[in-house]
């Protein structure tokens, strides 16, 4: 049966049930006959059984709403230039399953090997294709159209969600070596030509700073990531860090996926939520791996 006929049938059933509920017909059977609706189906709908078109097929683990959410997530990433690969789509499906059914384990919370290709077939707005890698410098300087596309995306996003200047933020990480020297004068051989490259000690530690700036001109307190496994009390007792700075640790002193998510929830969201003017805040970021995880997104 085609979609038009199915819709017409369901409409007749709904009208029959409405007439019976309002007392226009003494029996549900009489109401169904009066509107030309299938009698058995009218009884089933009255008892609460949903149409097959609205049911999730037995071989599908995600609900229609969950699949729609994944489709919109993919299209959102694609517009930002981060089209997810097949494994990322499967991971997102598994994440939704795990959140909806925290008590389930094993295969019950994992989609099958063919789930992603079948998912793509079910959604006409999606397709899979091979990607090609561009050298970073070529991507950076490729052409003006690429840059204009990015600014157009920002402009469209601001208009779509009615975002005001005071609710726009940009953040990034920067790393530096503890004890590494800047440019200075050194004594060397008279035969040396040009600027001299001085080798830095190999034992220096890396420190990462995450900074976030608001478009209206103020900055959030930074998060400092140090190399280590435990906090050291002297960092705080001797006033080395201002009290509103966040200190985090990683083995290398670099940021990672967990710290990126921690910054988003514990620093950015808590610092800007009370400052929000409109309903939405826009956070502009780059393609660093810690910004491109399922949990962060």
pLDDT in tens, 4-16: 444 478 888 888 8
* Domain membership flag for residue 258: yes
CB under 8 A, 24+ apart: contacts of 264-267? 264/296, 267/210, 267/212, 267/220, 267/221, 267/223
Interhelix angle 115-122/86-100, nearest 10 degrees = 90
pLDDT in tens, 121-180: 988 888 888 766 555 555 556 667 778 888 998 999 999 999 999 999 999 888 877 765
pLDDT in tens, 83-93: 888 888 898 89
More confident residue, 29 or 55: 29
pLDDT at 222 (0 to 100): 92
Separation between Cα atoms, residue 5 and residue 10, nearest integer Å: 9
- Domain identity same for 241 and 259: yes
Q: How crowded is residue 9: how many other Cβ atoms within 10 Å of its Cβ?
A: 17
- Domain identity same for 81 and 38: no
Which residues lie closer than 8 Å to 98 by C-beta, 6 or more apart? 104, 109
* Domain membership flag for residue 231: yes
pLDDT in tens, 183-217: 655 554 456 566 555 555 555 678 889 999 999 99
* Domain membership flag for residue 193: no
* Domain membership flag for residue 187: no
* Domain membership flag for residue 194: no
Q: How many CA atoms lie within 13 Å of 135's alpha carbon, on the beta-carbon side?
A: 4
More confident residue, 273 or 143: 273
Q: Of the given ranges (42-51, 102-111, 206-215), which has the lowest mean pLDDT?
A: 102-111
Model confidence pTM above 0.95: no
CB under 8 A, 24+ apart: contacts of 73-78? 73/297, 74/126, 75/125, 75/126, 77/297
* Domain membership flag for residue 70: yes
Residue 290 gets which letter from DSSP?
A: G
pLDDT grade, residue 293 (50/70/90)? confident
Q: What are the residue ranges of helices labelled H in 80-206? A: 86-100, 115-122, 136-141, 144-160
Which residues lie closer than 8 Å to 118 by C-beta, 6 or more apart? none
* Domain membership flag for residue 252: yes
User: Average pLDDT, stretch 267-286?
Assistant: 92
Which residues lie closer than 8 Å to 192 by C-beta, 6 or more apart? none
Domain count, the chain: 3
Q: Which residue range(s) make up the domain with 94?
A: 64-122
Separation between Cα atoms, residue 276 and residue 285, nearest integer Å: 19
pLDDT in tens, 213-256: 999 999 999 998 888 888 777 766 666 778 788 888 888 888 88
pLDDT at 56 (0 to 100): 53
pLDDT in tens, 13-33: 888 898 899 888 889 999 999
- Domain identity same for 73 and 49: no
Separation between Cα atoms, residue 282 and residue 294, nearest integer Å: 18
pLDDT at 236 (0 to 100): 66
């Amino acid at each position: 049966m085609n979609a038009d006929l199915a819709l017409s049938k369901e409409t007749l059933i709904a009208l029959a049930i409405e007439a019976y509920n309002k007392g226009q017909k003494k029996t549900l059977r009489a109401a169904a006959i009066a509107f030309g609706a299938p009698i058995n189906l009218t009884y089933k709908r009255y008892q609460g059984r949903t149409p097959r078109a609205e049911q999730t097929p037995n071989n599908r683990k995600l609900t229609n709403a969950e699949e729609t959410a994944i489709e919109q997530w993919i299209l959102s990433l694609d517009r930002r230039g981060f089209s997810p690969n097949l494994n990322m789509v499967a991971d997102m499906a598994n994440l939704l399953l795990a959140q909806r059914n925290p008590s389930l384990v094993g295969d019950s919370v994992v989609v099958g090997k063919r789930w992603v290709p079948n998912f793509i077939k079910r959604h006409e707005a999606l397709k899979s294709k091979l990607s090609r890698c561009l050298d970073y410098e070529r991507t950076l300087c490729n052409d003006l159209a690429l840059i204009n596309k990015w600014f157009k995306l920002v402009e469209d996003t601001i208009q779509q969600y009615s975002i005001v200047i005071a609710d726009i933020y940009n953040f990034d990480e920067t790393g530096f070596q503890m004890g590494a020297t800047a440019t200075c004068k050194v004594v060397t051989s008279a035969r040396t030509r040009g600027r001299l490259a001085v080798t830095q000690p190999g034992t220096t530690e890396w420190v990462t700073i995450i900074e976030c700036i608001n478009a209206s001109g103020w900055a959030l307190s930074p998060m400092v990531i140090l190399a280590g496994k435990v906090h050291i009390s002297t960092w705080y007792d001797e006033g080395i860090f201002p009290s509103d700075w966040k200190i985090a640790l990683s083995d290398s002193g670099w940021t990672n996926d967990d710290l990126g998510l921690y910054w988003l929830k514990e620093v950015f969201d808590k610092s800007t939520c009370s400052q929000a003017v409109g309903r939405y805040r826009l956070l502009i970021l780059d393609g660093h791996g810690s910004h491109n995880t399922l949990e962060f997104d």
